Each structure stands twice: as structure tokens, then as C-alpha cells.
Amino acid sequence: QNTPDCLAAYIEMSNIYASLGRKADADSALRQAIFVLDRMEDALFAESGRERDATRRQIESLLANP
């Protein structure tokens, strides 16, 4: 469950909801993405070269935009 694929799926769901004008559902999917992100193993980030905090800030910035 707490995998990069799962994280990507929630972000994609958010994009789809946003395109349909369903902001509450889009935001909910992003909050779920943060939940998944916070539970992902650190090793997954070491492998990808990304930082957890940077990824989290990126998702949070999507939540902050109306």
C-alpha cells in the first residue's frame, strides 16, 4: 500500500477529480497521498534520489492552490 505506485495513483486521482471540478474529492486524494507518503520506507527515497520533504511540499502546494 505504501509504495510509489500507490502515491502516484492518489495524485492521478486528484488530477482527474480536479478536471471534473470536484475540488473536495481532489483535495481528499491529495491528503491520502500525504498519508501514504508519510508511511513509505526511507529506502524508497534513497533509491529514487528524491527527498521525502520535497515531495511532501510539492503535494502540499497542490492542496494550497484553489
pLDDT in tens, 25-58: 999 999 999 999 888 887 777 776 778 788 888 8
Q: How distant, in Å, are the alpha carbons of 42, 60, 66 from that of 25?
A: 28, 15, 13
This prediction has a pTM of 0.80
Task: Output phi, psi for 51, to 5 deg.
Answer: -105, 140
Q: What is the pLDDT of residue 66?
A: 59
Instruction: Read off the pLDDT band of 64 (50, 70, 90).
Output: confident
The residue-averaged pLDDT of 4-22 equals: 93
Q: CA Rg, the chain, in Å?
A: 12
The residue type found at 47 is E
Q: What is the pLDDT of residue 2?
A: 82
At 36, list the grid cell.
501514504
The residue-averaged pLDDT of 2-29 equals: 93
